[in-house]
Structure formats: C-alpha cells, structure tokens
C-alpha cells in the first residue's frame, strides 16, 4: 500500500484528491490546505485527515505527495517534502525560476527520491497515440509541429501570464514529440486584459531545420486545444479535448483508434507505479526545467523584442 498526501486543495488539487481516493493499493493518508473549512470538508468527503499546516502532514510517513500550490511556493514545499522522505509530483511549471527548479532536482538526487513534473498533456491518450505514430515513422520525418491553446481568461490566475500558465504545456509536448530540446525562441506577446501577457505566439527552433509554433491566449471566447504535426509523408491533426488523432497522407484520411481516459488519472497511476517500483519518472525534473527555461526565454524574448538562444 502506497501512502500518499496532497498539498493544496484548489481546483486542480481537488482532482488529485479525488483520483487518489479512488485508486486501489493507495491510501490517501492526508491532505493539506490553508483554507481550514475547505480542507476539513474534503477530508470528510474522502475519508482522510486534514491539515492546515503541511508540515504536520509530512510527519505521517508518506511515500508520495502531490504538490498543488502556487508556483512561487514549489521550491520550499517540494524540498521539505523530499527531505521528509517522500517522492513528489510537482504541478507544472516545476518552479518560478531555473535556479529554484535546480534546487528541487538537487534535493531529490541527494535524498534518492523521485521528482516528477505534472505536465498532464503527456498523459492525454491522444498524445500517447500520436507519439507512437511519430516514432513508428508513419508520417516520415517530422519537420513542423504547431499548437493552438486558447480560450477565456480564468480570474483565479493572477501570479503568471498565459505563457507560464498554459503555453508551458505545448512547449513541453512539442519537445516530447520531437525528442529534442529547444535551441532558440522568438516570441510576440502582449497584455491587454491582464497584468502579465494574455496572448502570445511562440516560435521555437529545434536543431537546424525543425520548428515549433505555440499560439496561446486568454482572449478567445471559446476553448480550443489542438496540435498539427507535419511530416514529409503525411500530417496528423490532434484534438486534446476530444482525444482524437486524424492522419492525412496522399492516399488516405484515417482516424487513430484511441481509448479515451482522464489524463490526470493516467498521470497519477503512472506516478504511483514509479514510486512502487522505485524508478525515475517522466516527465522528470529536468524535463520540467527545460519547459520552464523555454517559457522564461519566451517571456524575455517578447519583452526585449529579440531572438533568445537557449542553452
């Protein structure tokens, strides 16, 4: 039995709590949030213990913890969880700076613990299927991947702009599908309804001739989440929401057979399996740091109006 805890019971944290409570061979030992009424209500609903101080939760000899707190708190909370003896899943982005992300990774290595970053779209069944298709060579060499992730603004997002909040998803996914790191970015963005950027077009270069393009905004009145992967022998169209992949080549239009499933459930089941087996998880801390590094470079690019090299 794997003993798990959740720190942070906001919109996403509630989903972590719900799914852990439904998993077999997992004991949801406790949850923590600064909102006393909320955490007590959730603890009663899911038959677990509640804490307003997460340090009290850390005394419960946990095997694994989901960290679902504001990004600026990730470093402190993650390191304390790791030092308590727990493996951690840190929601994306891994932290608010490259230096703080590195501190989390270093702490995990020093204490021989897993640090996994919650890039949930890697566990979307459509992305899993598209990765299989690309790796099989069915589309030939992939030369361009573009994404659109747009929709109305959520007022609860105050501490970051659209790049770090949702653009980081597709920065990670495009890197994952290519199996390569970003070398350069040039970004055009602006702030019209938010104190940070609320729309952005992120151009990315991989190696010499491979491109990635991420379009994000909080201005479109309806939600769109899709991806196009162009290969020399065909093109794939993916819808993250509907969990579909359609392939077009010179002779056929085909839909991939995909069994739909909640991505977060896939993610948490995988995390628990990694903890049980003592194996490192993907997306790893390093993967999370790369996505963060590119996101921060994209922000710098639009502010300084120049191409940014990424080491």
Q: In this predicted structure, what is the pLDDT of residue 92? A: 96
Q: In this predicted structure, what is the pLDDT of residue 132? A: 98
Give residue-wise pLDDT tens across range 88-99: 999 999 999 999
- DSSP structure class, residue 201: E
Q: In this predicted structure, what is the pLDDT of residue 71? A: 93
Q: In this predicted structure, what is the pLDDT of residue 156? A: 80
- The answer to whether the CB of 90 falls within 8 A of the CB of 114 is no
Give residue-wise pLDDT tens across range 3-55: 999 999 999 999 999 999 999 999 999 999 999 999 999 999 999 999 999 99
Q: In this predicted structure, what is the pLDDT of residue 311? A: 85
What global pTM score does this model have?
0.96
Residue whose token pair is 């379009």 = 215
- DSSP structure class, residue 227: E
SS3 246: strand
In terms of C-beta density within 10 A (0-12 exposed, 13-18 middle, 19 or more buried), how is residue 157 classed? Answer: middle
Give residue-wise pLDDT tens across range 213-222: 999 999 999 9
d(CA 248, CA 230) in angstroms, rounded, equals 10
155: pLDDT strictly greater than 90: no
pLDDT confidence tier of residue 159, bands split at 50, 70 and 90: confident
pLDDT confidence tier of residue 208, bands split at 50, 70 and 90: confident
Give residue-wise pLDDT tens across range 63-77: 999 999 999 999 999
158: pLDDT strictly greater than 90: no
- With a CB cutoff of 8 Å and minimum separation 6, the contacts of 96 are 71, 72, 74, 75
Describe the chain by its helix, strand, coil percentages, rounded to 5: 40, 30, 35
User: Cα angle vertex 299, ends 238, 226, to 5°?
Assistant: 10
Q: What is the mean pLDDT of the chain?
A: 97
Q: Determine the longest span between alpha carbons in the chain, in angstroms.
A: 62
166: pLDDT strictly greater than 90: yes
d(CA 303, CA 301) in angstroms, rounded, equals 6
Domain ranges of the chain: 2-119+265-278, 121-262+293-309
| The CATH fold of domain 121-262+293-309 | Dihydrodipicolinate Reductase; domain 2 (3.30.360)
Bridge partners (DSSP) listed for residue 239: 226, 244
The H or E element that residue 176 is part of is: helix 168-178
Q: In this predicted structure, what is the pLDDT of residue 32? A: 98
| The CATH fold of domain 2-119+265-278 | Rossmann fold (3.40.50)
Give residue-wise pLDDT tens across range 233-261: 999 999 999 999 999 999 999 999 999 99
Q: In this predicted structure, what is the pLDDT of residue 207? A: 86
% pLDDT > 90, the chain = 96
pLDDT average, residue stretch 143-159: 92
Residue whose token pair is 């997002």 = 157
pLDDT average, residue stretch 188-197: 95
pLDDT average, residue stretch 200-209: 94
Q: In this predicted structure, what is the pLDDT of residue 20? A: 98
Q: How far is CA 32 from CA 37, 226, 301, 311, in A?
A: 11, 34, 38, 37
Q: Which residues of 172-181 are buried (b: 16+ CB within 10 A; e: fewer)?
A: bbbbbbbeeb
Q: In this predicted structure, what is the pLDDT of residue 249? A: 94
157: pLDDT strictly greater than 90: no
Residue whose token pair is 């993610």 = 267
CA atoms within 13 A on the CB side of 40: 4
């Amino acid at each position: 039995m794997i003993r798990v805890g959740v720190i942070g019971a906001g919109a996403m944290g509630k989903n972590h709590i719900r799914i852990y409570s439904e998993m077999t061979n997992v004991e949801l030992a406790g949850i923590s949030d600064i909102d006393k009424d909320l955490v007590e209500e959730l603890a009663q609903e899911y038959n677990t213990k509640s804490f307003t101080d997460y340090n009290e939760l850390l005394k419960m000899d946990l095997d694994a913890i989901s960290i679902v707190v504001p990004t600026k708190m990730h470093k402190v909370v993650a390191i304390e969880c790791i030092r308590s003896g727990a493996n951690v899943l840190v929601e994306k982005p891994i932290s608010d700076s490259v230096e703080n992300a590195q501190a989390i990774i270093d702490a995990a290595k020093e204490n021989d613990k897993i640090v996994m970053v919650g890039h949930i779209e890697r566990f979307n069944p459509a992305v899993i299927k598209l990765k299989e298709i690309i790796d099989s060579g069915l589309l030939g060499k992939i030369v361009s991947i573009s994404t659109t992730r747009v929709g109305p603004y959520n007022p609860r997002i105050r501490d970051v702009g659209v790049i770090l909040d949702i653009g980081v998803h597709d920065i990670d996914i495009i890197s994952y599908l290519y199996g390569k790191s970003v070398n350069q970015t040039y970004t055009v963005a602006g702030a019209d309804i938010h104190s940070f950027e609320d729309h952005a077009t992120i151009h990315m270069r991989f190696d010499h001739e491979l491109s990635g393009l991420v379009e994000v905004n909080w201005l479109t009145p309806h939600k769109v989440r899709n991806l196009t992967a162009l290969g020399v022998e065909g093109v794939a169209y993916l819808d993250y929401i509907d969990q579909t992949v359609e392939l077009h080549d010179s002779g056929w239009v085909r839909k991939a057979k995909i069994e739909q499933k909640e991505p977060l459930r896939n993610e948490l089941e995988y995390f628990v399996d990694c903890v049980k087996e003592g194996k490192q998880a993907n997306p790893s801390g390093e993967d999370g740091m790369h996505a963060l590094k590119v996101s921060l470079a994209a922000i710098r690019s639009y502010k300084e109006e120049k191409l940014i090299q990424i080491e």
